[in-house]
Structure 1
Amino acid sequence: MTWRMPAETAQHERTWMAFPREGITLGESTSDREEGYAAWTAVAHAVAEFEPVTMLVDPTERERAASMLGDGIEQVEAPVDEFWMRDHGPTFVVDDERPGVLGAVDWVFNGWGAPEWSEWRKSAEHARIIADLVGAETVSSLLVNEGGGIHVDGEGTVLVTETVQLDPRRNPYADRARVEAELARTIGATRVVWLSRGLTRDYDEFGTNGHVDIVATMPSAGHLLLHDQRDPEHPDHEVTHELRAHLAEQTDAAGRRFEILDLPAPETLRDDEGFVDWSYVNHLVVNGGVIACGFGEERADAAAREILEAAYPGRRAVTVDARPLFARGGGIHCITQQQPAVAR
């Protein structure tokens, strides 16, 4: 069998999420926790305007989830500790030789390198739980990887980062060849494009060490949307300049040089913790739409929606305030996982 991960623009059956539960990620104070619950809920409701949403809910949060999510979002009870579904949930794949068959890649998840603060062992089971729920074939992998650490064009090209897949805290014995072979086996990658690093803030204690899904994505084959930090005061100005130069020399699975479209960062440079990694690249493509990160900057948010609608013709971009998500370590793409539609 030959598995292939479809592009995010392919038709979806639904989007999967996990409802927050109390712990270090959600926040220590009541107001912090309420902000977190509200942010995850807002994203779920925005996605549900375009396609079905199914939310895994820890038993301790059952009543709160039912009250906040309402009847329009399916809720499935399952143990939850971390709630970044992109990373600990399944990566869905299809088999073009067996129409109607859905696969679910079960990467090894160790909380982004097994940091002391991360609670991840319950959510590491989500890939298999969801695979069973939807009747998907489980594709087991020994690669420590997260869904936010890869982006595909659906035609064999995948973007990855040296500091993620080759992270010694994740895969101490891996090299490029082993990673590429595993990506070929599990998601059908025939061309792996390596980025040297991610954004600066992502290397902090609570970061992922360079996830690609706040840096670059492929809205269509042969095209790249790239985070563009234009202010030289921000360290990511140099980072994104170097990444752009590198990516301009790369080719996709079909041998094409990428056409790069810059997606400017918002104007805000810092929050209370330091330089921000706010990025419009971290959006979710849904059926007929794009769920875009918003950062409270009317002009920049509107410009991002315009660029996204041009990059994804025929889709309507809507903005959800992502500042509470980024304050906790990620964005809209990080808390969602699309399930592609397959013929039944």
Structure 2
Amino acid sequence: MTFRMPPEWAPHERTWMAWPGPNATFTGDDLAESRRAWASVARAVRRFEPVTMVVSPGQAGGARALLGPDIDIVQRELDDAWMRDIGPTFVTDGTQLAAVDWVFNGWGAQEWASWEHDAKIARLVADLVGVPSHSSPLVNEGGGIHVDGDGTVLLTETVQLGPERNPGWTKEEVETEIHAKLGTTRAIWLKRGLTADYPPHGYGTLGHVDIVAAFAGPGVIVAHSQPDPAHPDHELCKENVEMLKSQKDARGRRIEVVEVPAPTVVREEDGAWVDYSYINHYVCNGGVVLCAFDDPRDEIAAGIFRSLYPGRTVTLVDARTIFAGGGGIHCITQQQPRV
């Protein structure tokens, strides 16, 4: 039987995360703030399912003090803390679990990144779970893909086709590898990610899809909308929505697009554009953990997700510190499906 990646709303066995340590992304007061933010997300997820935090050796005591007693801790060497990207992508054939181990190269070998240890984390987590790893030659991260569990996957051209990751690969070759590993049959490509996800805006991923668009059910995609015409993502988001509305999924369903407006804040204090997005959420057993920004649109977004996931509790967690490091709540969590 073919292995496939279940959708995020399918039942989970647990969630995996990685603890921030001192590096180029987290220094001084930023490190302390980031650890508090990661702990807040972990505790929010723990309300709904078990959580395991991978912590660098020697940092378990400080992690335990912030995480509390009911989150599991395992010690392994880490470079950074974005488990969605460095961890395994779990797949199942219906009776057993396996893990896809993509090649990880620091989000396109960016100058601020280090990945000696993070490149090994996917296999180490798979070993901890006790499941086989399926190695892929594709440079890819979990934030660069989003699936509906029915055969469709969302991708962005600047990630899988960018010269920083997979020089020389054609779109057809990428799709063949993605489909083989995820059990998908149809790829929907967005041209690029949000503006602040690229240099010189800081710690970006060069266009991860999980901050722009995500499946929220069969045939349903939530898409980031930037209402402010002054923001460079305004036109990009309009183009994405129109493109997605024109698409069909692997089952032939016309895509329904639910637009989620960005927070009202469009610039950081230094004037740089922000990529604050509610799309970077995490669906867990009985709950949705949603990025919050102390913004008037936080509750609007929460209402949209409550309507999309009736019966699940929507929990808002301040994600501004996480975004300052280059990602959001989805970026720091990785689901292990229940088999």
- Residue 71 of structure 1 and its aligned partner are, at CA, apart by 1.3
Which residue of structure 1 aligns with residue 335 of structure 2? Answer: 338
Q: What is the rounded CA distance, in whole Å, between the counterparts of 1:234 and 1:223 in structure 2?
A: 26
Q: What is the rounded CA distance, in whole Å, between the counterparts of 2:258 and 2:42 in structure 1?
A: 28
Which residue of structure 2 aligns with residue 260 of structure 1? Answer: 257
- Residue 256 of structure 1 and its aligned partner are, at CA, apart by 1.4
Where do 1:36-115 residues align within 5 Å? 36-96=34-94, 99=95, 101-115=96-110
Q: Which amino acid aligns with 2:221?
A: L
Which residue of structure 2 aligns with residue 8 of structure 1? Answer: 8
Match of 2:133, SS state, is strand
* Runs of 4 or more above 3 Å deviation: none
> TM-score, normalized by length of structure 1?
0.96
Q: Which amino acid aligns with 1:46?
A: A
> Over aligned residues, Cα RMSD in angstroms?
0.9
Matched, 1:208 2:205: yes
Pick from 316, 324, 327: which aligns with 1:327?
324
Q: Which amino acid aligns with 1:19?
A: W
Q: Which amino acid aligns with 1:252?
A: D
> TM-score, normalized by length of structure 2?
0.97
Where do 1:111-122 residues align within 5 Å? 111-122=106-117
Which residue of structure 1 aligns with residue 300 of structure 2? Answer: 303
**Alpha-carbon displacement from aligned partner over 1:157-192 (angstroms, at most 9, x marks no partner):** 000000000011100021111111001110011000
Q: Which amino acid aligns with 2:24?
A: I
Runs of at least 5 residues in structure 2 that lack an aligned partner in the other structure? none
Preserved CA contact (<8 Å) 1:282 1:333 = yes
Which residue of structure 1 aligns with residue 24 of structure 2? Answer: 24
Runs of at least 5 residues in structure 1 that lack an aligned partner in the other structure? none
Matched, 1:179 2:177: no
Where do 1:137-286 residues align within 5 Å? 137-205=132-200, 206-273=203-270, 274-286=272-284
Q: What is the rounded CA distance, in whole Å, between the counterparts of 2:118 and 2:259 in structure 1?
A: 34
Which residue of structure 2 aligns with residue 134 of structure 1? Answer: 129
Match of 2:109, SS state, is coil
- Residue 85 of structure 1 and its aligned partner are, at CA, apart by 0.2
Deviates more, 1:224-233 or 1:201-210: 201-210
Q: What is the rounded CA distance, in whole Å, between the counterparts of 1:90 and 1:236 in structure 2?
A: 30
Q: What is the rounded CA distance, in whole Å, between the counterparts of 1:70 and 1:41 in structure 2?
A: 9
Preserved CA contact (<8 Å) 1:81 1:123 = yes
- Residue 75 of structure 1 and its aligned partner are, at CA, apart by 0.1
Q: What is the rounded CA distance, in whole Å, between the counterparts of 1:196 and 1:40 in structure 2?
A: 30
Which residue of structure 2 aligns with residue 124 of structure 1? Answer: 119
Q: Which amino acid aligns with 2:126?
A: A
Deviates more, 1:56-65 or 1:233-242: 56-65
Q: What is the rounded CA distance, in whole Å, between the counterparts of 2:141 and 2:98 in structure 1?
A: 16
Q: What is the rounded CA distance, in whole Å, between the counterparts of 1:10 and 1:108 in structure 2?
A: 26
Preserved CA contact (<8 Å) 1:180 1:189 = no
Match of 1:218, SS state, is strand
Q: What is the rounded CA distance, in whole Å, between the counterparts of 1:278 and 1:333 in structure 2?
A: 13
- Residue 60 of structure 1 and its aligned partner are, at CA, apart by 3.1
Q: What is the rounded CA distance, in whole Å, between the counterparts of 1:279 and 1:252 in structure 2?
A: 24
Match of 2:59, SS state, is helix
Q: Which amino acid aligns with 1:167?
A: G
- Residue 70 of structure 1 and its aligned partner are, at CA, apart by 2.0
User: What is the total number of aligned residue pairs between the two structures?
Assistant: 336
Identity %: 55
**Alpha-carbon displacement from aligned partner over 1:213-233 (angstroms, at most 9, x marks no partner):** 000011101111000101101
- Residue 204 of structure 1 and its aligned partner are, at CA, apart by 2.2
Match of 1:113, SS state, is helix
Preserved CA contact (<8 Å) 1:89 1:126 = yes
Q: What is the rounded CA distance, in whole Å, between the counterparts of 2:314 and 2:85 in structure 1?
A: 24
- Residue 34 of structure 1 and its aligned partner are, at CA, apart by 1.2
